[in-house]
Structure 1
């Protein structure tokens, strides 16, 4: 028997099983072999175009944004209060620069000022810049009474101040209800300043606001037999209440951080700062001046009946 030469493994023809193993092996490498044994070509990825500003344009834009921020900060936070940092060429007292040309000073308070030492405040009536009148918050809306009003109102009269009371108006509450609530809260006496209507909120309807305010003012004037004082800011008055009806009431203007009143019409009181410091009051307080003499201030108060002798105030002694 003739022996055939040995056949090596490498020279053996491949069967179906072996070809399948080769295909699996090729797939494990991440790509399948082509029938001809050539690898499939990889697809080229498209290059993404990146868009960028030139460096000078970026710096210019950032500089513009920074400038707008600085201008806005100055307009809203520095310019309205720049008066605080102006040099005082007049008389400085009570922590502020006092308006020039006024001799009768006063202040207004509420429960926000806390406990007040009226004995210390009384000394200011004979100070170089006499403090002689005070307004205090009595009521707000239709049901809120200031918790410090009764005590402060009594103490002010006992220590010789010309006193007055104000009502903070709420446009969302019925005007007549607010007027009657103030009447129940405040018992004014001869020698007191007229009632004050404090209006700072416009509400939703400007026309309705003016109608309601006139209702409040007429009701108060009818009851106390004296024209009420109208308190509001310079801007609020010129925008919403600048007509013959509201101009007929004594005007108490709130206008801060200015050297003089810019309002063209007549006014009686000027609230010129909310940063005042008075002995006997721990918190900062609003300061006011009266546009006139002490005699004219007393003429503005509720008159005494002829049968009652007018008491002499401390400032007149």
Structure 2
């Protein structure tokens, strides 16, 4: 520790005055702390630690602090100290932020799952129109047609539907063995089945071969009925030939029964008009009693779709060639609430594909 100028002056004055005090300079310089204490303050058993210099530094006036230069970012400057305590220049401590080299940061081997795009995303695969599903239908009133004539012997099964089947789950119906479907479109000259358009689109989407049929009304002209059918059934590629449904209907408001000749005439007018428009020869659907009275031996160059739910077609329609056989009106299937008509195509799977290629639009 250095002596200050004030201390030197005091010592010189004492020497000149000839002070006779018994305490000399050495006593002054070597005297320790007083051993006297007050009654109210207890003397500590160990020396009091030295106070922190930074904590004891005098406060800086506000104006002086505001006029002081602002340190640069990243540099911490020690607070000012009294002049007598400063022994060397203030120390500046650099606090520079560490520099991160991006190239040195390791990258993960894989991307987060949410950011990975599949290299070959899966697409919804529609039902293939050419695929044949095996028969899985049931029957509420099964008929034993005999082993040789059983509908199970045929490879290609299908259905016919109308509004009476309600909402149909077509993909599910497809997997039950419905490889084709005939959908009711019109009857008479002014009635459109309310489910036709929906069934028409949904059957195609499910991969079924589809066709439309018209229920013939004997109290309207054939030309009016043909025009009505053409107006409502689109001409599209791949559709099965149109069907004319001729039968007796006790529930119809039309009770007229025409002569055999007049019946054939009206049917011919209707079918000629459809064939000119669609470019396909229409198929004739009929029932046993109507066939017996009007169609036996007629229209030999037209394809037939025969209803025979008690005996095979060979017994009900002897000598008649047919393309489709409706063998049940009490079928049951997943995808349909209630009963549904069941049908088969006469031929093998290969013959079915050949017939479709030749007959479909």
Indicate conservation of the 8 Å contact 1:190/1:301, yes or no: no
Cα distance in 1 for residues equivalent to 2:266 and 2:142: 40
Q: TM-score, normalised on structure 2?
A: 0.54
Q: Greater Rg, structure 1 or structure 2?
A: 2
1:163: Cα distance to partner? 0.5
Report what 1:113 is aligned to: 165
1:119: Cα distance to partner? 2.4
Report what 1:153 is aligned to: 200
Cα distance in 1 for residues equivalent to 2:200 and 2:262: 33
1:247 corresponds to 2:294: no
2:278 aligns with one of 224, 229, 236:
224
Unaligned runs of 5+ in 1: 1-82, 92-96, 125-129, 311-317
Indicate conservation of the 8 Å contact 2:304/2:321, yes or no: yes
1:192: Cα distance to partner? 1.3
Aligned counterparts, 1:10-25, within 5 A: none
1:205: Cα distance to partner? 2.1
Indicate conservation of the 8 Å contact 1:194/1:226, yes or no: yes
Report what 2:46 is aligned to: none
Structure 2 SS opposite 1:252: strand
Cα distance in 2 for residues equivalent to 1:290 and 1:274: 16
Indicate conservation of the 8 Å contact 1:138/1:145, yes or no: yes
Aligned residue pair count: 213
- Structure with the bigger percentage of helix: 1
Indicate conservation of the 8 Å contact 2:144/2:150, yes or no: no
Structure 2 SS opposite 1:131: coil
Indicate conservation of the 8 Å contact 1:108/1:286, yes or no: yes
1:279 aligns with one of 313, 331, 334:
334
1:188 corresponds to 2:235: yes
Cα distance in 1 for residues equivalent to 2:245 and 2:293: 16
Indicate conservation of the 8 Å contact 1:143/1:181, yes or no: yes
1:238 aligns with one of 292, 313, 327:
292
Report what 1:51 is aligned to: none
Report what 1:256 is aligned to: 309
Aligned counterparts, 1:172-187, within 5 A: 172-187=219-234
Alignment root-mean-square deviation, CA: 2.7
Change (3 A) 1:301 1:224: farther
1:100: Cα distance to partner? 4.2
Q: Deviations over 1:235-276 (max 9, x none)?
A: 3223201234x2211000011122453222210000011000
- Structure 1, 197-206 or 165-174: larger mean CA deviation: 197-206
Report what 1:289 is aligned to: 344
Q: Deviations over 1:116-159 (max 9, x none)?
A: 111211322xxxxx331110100000000000010111111111
Indicate conservation of the 8 Å contact 1:231/1:253, yes or no: yes
Aligned counterparts, 1:93-172, within 5 A: 99-124=151-176, 130-172=177-219
Indicate conservation of the 8 Å contact 1:170/1:201, yes or no: no
Q: Deviations over 1:72-105 (max 9, x none)?
A: xxxxxxxxxxx947668759xxxxx952421111
Change (3 A) 1:299 1:180: farther
1:178: Cα distance to partner? 0.2
Indicate conservation of the 8 Å contact 2:143/2:310, yes or no: no
Change (3 A) 1:302 1:180: farther
1:285: Cα distance to partner? 0.5
Unaligned runs of 5+ in 2: 1-139, 250-255
Structure 1 SS opposite 2:244: strand
Cα distance in 2 for residues equivalent to 1:90 and 1:304: 30
